[in-house]
Structure 1
């Protein structure tokens, strides 16, 4: 088993990372920064986002495991004190019998950013947002190449099913099970009057649909993909849709999605 570890950088996460390496070496796991089979994230959900984007070019070839050290770790299955058990499971020494992980796959959102200066592409694990830097934004929302609404407000959030529990949730969006291949569009503080009329509620688009967001005036914008900000002052449009790629997580023990939601928000 080839593995790699990314930690949050605080002392607890660093100590746990060092402990993991020691346990892994004792059990015969191979440290491999170039082509790991399993990437272990030690920290919080932000650490998992960093791990995902670090290995984004190899997403189809590896799986992630999260060790939780903060107050909320939606992507993490393991607690600090369970590190030795996790390593045992990874090397097939679980008791009473070897335990192979169940690989679960979550949908992702891909976006194509068209600017006057060129075109770039990104993939988001949680969400991307488009906001104004100096006030409200004016955006035209098209669905499947037909104009849907003209938006004015603070911005737009487009999330994956797993990301539906993050920023999207705070905007009143629905929490969506990751088995549903969809993206969710949520408005951020929309303004509704005789000129600008919006739906005012989140929308779910299935995998075979796409959405285009057009900038309809000269405006300074901030595009955020997961944890990374991109200032843009020449945006033409953003096209988003469910990606053909999926992210994989190695589940060494049952942790159903709704149990994960409940333990994250209610218990």
Structure 2
């Protein structure tokens, strides 16, 4: 009896919050469209609106906005994503461009896209990817393998591919700065180029030594902000914007291992594959 009463009280409180939010939207909706957009853009308020079915944007608009938020990271892998539509809770995407092959590309890209879609549209139940399969030996990741772990009822983070860890200290990095951090027991290297943050496992793909002490340098003949990352041990050069692709030596075989960096709930976070979590 006590449990039933408690559940009833919870339902009544939720309904009260929902009615209150509806009243707020009704009051400001016809007077200040800009304010409604600001409320929808706030992650905390947006989550309350979603829970109560009051979000002003439909699911397709929210998914499109979520994909926009991860495009800088996808671009660092030489790729992009196009939203084809959302039908019966199924998000249909087309991958464009290409992703350089590296030990963690498939997992980290999946984490970035899946998390963004789930946060913006928790009512979605599946992600369907349409894309061409690269030729054998091309060194590219097939579209179907990229989301091989995403399936119905698999958008709740239960696939075991990894976890997001808040690292607010990354916000303190200034443009051109490189620093090392330990995230969930995993040593990582993070650099900031302009407004963008790029994170990698702290291991040089060429000499296997730590990247501690690595620096950003301007490419020969490049513009300001067109930086490359140099290993302090072997002096190999890598392109932070292209998933850590090596720019000298055996570039096809030596690529840094990137980790997604996104702002989640207002805090900079890094996605760490499950196998790396201490």
Q: Between Structure 1 and Structure 2, which shows a larger proportion of strand residues?
A: 1
Greater RCO (Cα-Cα under 8 Å, separation 6 or more): 1
Both structures adopt the same fold (TM-score exceeding 0.5): no
Could you say which structure has the larger radius of gyration? 2
Q: TM-score, normalised by structure 1?
A: 0.25
Q: Point out the structure with the larger helix share.
A: 2
